[in-house]
Amino acid sequence: MDLNRRNFLTGSLGAATMMGLAACSSVHSNSADSTTSSSSAAVGAAGSSTTAAPSTTAASGSGVTPSSSAPSSAVAVKGDISFSFWGGSTGETAGFNHAKKMFESANPGTTINLKIVPYDGFFAGIDRGIQAGNAPDIFRVDYTTIGKYSGKGVLLDVSPYFDAAEIDAFLPALWEGIKYDGVPYGVPHQTDTTCIVYSKAAFETAGITSVPTTLASAWSWEEFSAVATKLRASLPDKKFPFAYDWTQAGAFRWLSWLYQAGGTLLTPDLKKVALPSAAATEAMDYTKSFFTNKWTPDSATIKTSQYSDNFFLSQIVPMSFIGDFLVPELADPKSGYKGEWGATYMPQHKAAASDLGGNAIVARKDTKNPELAAAFLKFLVSEDIMKYFCEQAIELPTLKSLASADLKYAYRPDVVKICAEQASTISDTIVKESTVGSFASINTVLQDQLELAFHGKSSADTISAIASGVTSALGS
């Protein structure tokens, strides 16, 4: 499948400002999974297209480069390092296990100790480990959180380990996303974004006969409201039209509605908040109506314990906003969605927009073996290893060579195609605002204030409180 559709590689705004940079955490309903599995367990969908393990040719040696066209001298490395990541899908776990196996095979005398922990509380654990001096050598971090660590000077500067050709192998905006004050910390590992999944049977029952099949024909807010209204009329009281993926750390995904309304969170210089605004009021009023119109379950707010995919899997809702990394969970023949389901694009209003999705891998500045840590970081973003990971995890690659390649996704390549197209709606403004160093604090403000808004706080008071909180975050 060609991921270059809708200018995925360079974007309508140019390569340096394109949606390639995605920056949200892979929050899963199964994030508490702490079982390490073999790579073969990643492929289980009936009739799915699978890939063989990548060859060791392009991935041999500790000095593996992000692209075979950008060679680098191998450096002999030995020793043990720890790598911590939140328990994601089976495909993600298999991808990391495969990378560990291949790296250790190519570098005798090395051991990568994988530690899988739940997403909830993941960064609190990292923080405690940093303070105590026993944090993992390497850990996963979403782009909206990386500034929290790079800004405090606790991450390894990787600039000595990448030459210009190796840096150029990445989608430019993604490489910019791991930089702080011009210095790169870590590697951009993968990207993802939000799309809509829906029950075909429920749509048929509700009389919804037309679903957008191109990005250009995505529903307007008015059309989306009409779809939700039809679903509401066809469903029993205990079921609801849809759930949105703004749970917990995903609160920042609300900003997609602000951008769709033509607004921004920050001023162009990223130094001040751009609220209040007419666009913010429109976005707040519209999203609050999800609850007053009974389109969304009352419990599907920011601080709920359930994620949007849970509501869909349990068939409380026939439509849900999800990240493409959840496709394996929905497509699983044993525990996935029961019934035929399809996917379509995010609604659009004055503009089309989606959220930044994806994660970087970083190393601690005080790791006892920086050469080994850097070598493993480079290995994770080597072409064959990244290709295998993305195919199994159903996520989008960060290398130019793979962004335009035909990846054989293990599950529902038709849905990945939609997500790749949707990613082209992530503008330069979205990229810049979502990667400011204080964005983790800003996201906490959004969690607190949106929760109150969806429980009755007025739009005006909510926007004022968000503006005040963001101003404080920017000044911290």
Give the integer Cα–Cα distance in Å for 218 and 212: 5
Phi, psi of 135 (to 5 degrees): -70, 155
Indicate whether 449 and 464 sit together in one domain: yes
Indicate whether 22 and 150 sit together in one domain: yes
In tens, the pLDDT along 170-229 reads: 988 888 889 988 999 999 999 889 999 999 999 999 999 999 999 999 999 999 999 999
Q: What is the pLDDT of residue 20?
A: 33
Cβ-in-10-Å burial (0-12, 13-18, 19+) of 335 comes to exposed
Number of Cα atoms under 13 Å in the Cβ half of residue 114: 22
Residues whose CB is less than 8 angstroms from the CB of residue 18 and which lie 6 or more positions away in sequence, other chains included: 7, 9, 10, 11, 12, 171, 172, 173, 424, 426, 428, 431
3-state helix, strand, coil in the chain (%, to 5): 45, 15, 45
Indicate whether 415 and 338 sit together in one domain: no
pTM of model > 0.75: yes
Residue 402 within any structural domain of the chain: yes
Q: What is the pLDDT of residue 195?
A: 97
Give the pLDDT band of residue 88 (cuts 50, 70, 90).
low
pLDDT value at 457 more than 90: yes
Report the DSSP beta bridge partners of residue 322. 195
User: Which element (helix H / strand E) includes 459?
Assistant: helix 459-475
Residues whose CB is less than 8 angstroms from the CB of residue 114 and which lie 6 or more positions away in sequence, other chains included: 36, 83, 84, 85, 96, 97, 100
Indicate whether 66 and 151 sit together in one domain: yes
Q: Which of 427, 448, 463 is the last residue of a domain?
A: 427
| 67 secondary structure, DSSP code | S
Whether the ω angle into residue 276 lies within 30 degrees of 0, i.e. cis, is: yes
Residue 432 within any structural domain of the chain: no
Give helix 278-292 / helix 459-475 axis angle, nearest 10°.
Answer: 120
Residue 105 within any structural domain of the chain: yes
Residue 433 within any structural domain of the chain: no
Mean pLDDT, range 3-29, rounded to an integer: 35
Residue 291 within any structural domain of the chain: yes
pLDDT value at 452 more than 80: yes
Residue 114 within any structural domain of the chain: yes
Q: What is the pLDDT of residue 36?
A: 35
Of 294, 275, 313, 308, which is closest to residue 225 (Cα–Cα)? 294
Give the integer Cα–Cα distance in Å for 56 and 107: 11
Indicate whether 30 and 57 sit together in one domain: yes
Residues whose CB is less than 8 angstroms from the CB of residue 336 and which lie 6 or more positions away in sequence, other chains included: 313, 329, 330
Give the pLDDT band of residue 61 (cuts 50, 70, 90).
very low
> At 87, is the secondary structure helix, strand, or coil?
coil
Give the pLDDT band of residue 91 (cuts 50, 70, 90).
confident
Residue 371 within any structural domain of the chain: yes
In tens, the pLDDT along 286-313 reads: 999 999 999 999 999 999 999 999 999 9
How far lies 21's CA from each of 27, 186, 225, 331, in Å? 18, 14, 30, 26
Indicate whether 287 and 374 sit together in one domain: no
The CA R_g of the chain, rounded to the nearest whole Å, is 21
- Number of folded domains that form the chain: 2
Indicate whether 200 and 88 sit together in one domain: no
Among the ranges 45-54, 318-327, 370-379, which has the highest mean pLDDT value?
A: 370-379
Average pLDDT, rounded, for the chain: 85
Mean pLDDT, range 238-265, rounded to an integer: 97
Indicate whether 240 and 165 sit together in one domain: no
Indicate whether 83 and 119 sit together in one domain: yes
Q: What is the pLDDT of residue 172?
A: 84
Q: What is the pLDDT of residue 75?
A: 60
Identify residue 377 by its one-letter amino acid code. L
Give the integer Cα–Cα distance in Å for 386 and 430: 25
In tens, the pLDDT along 101-140 reads: 999 999 999 999 999 999 889 999 999 999 999 999 999 9
Give the integer Cα–Cα distance in Å for 350 and 279: 10
Indicate whether 409 and 470 sit together in one domain: no
Give the pLDDT band of residue 246 (cuts 50, 70, 90).
very high
Range of the domain at 166: 5-192+357-427
Q: Which of 406, 427, 448 is the last residue of a domain?
A: 427
pLDDT value at 23 more than 80: no
pLDDT value at 474 more than 90: yes
Q: What is the CATH number of the domain that holds 448?
A: 3.40.190.10
Sign of the alpha-carbon torsion through 438, 442, 443, 444: positive
Q: What is the pLDDT of residue 5?
A: 29
**CA quadruple 469, 474, 475, 476: dihedral, nearest 10:** 90
Percent of the chain residues topping a pLDDT of 90: 70
Q: b/e for 280-299, b at 16 or more Cβ within 10 A?
A: bbbbbebbbebbeeebbbee
Indicate whether 140 and 236 sit together in one domain: no
Residue 120 within any structural domain of the chain: yes
Q: What is the pLDDT of residue 89?
A: 75
Sign of the alpha-carbon torsion through 93, 368, 162, 191: positive
Indicate whether 237 and 375 sit together in one domain: no
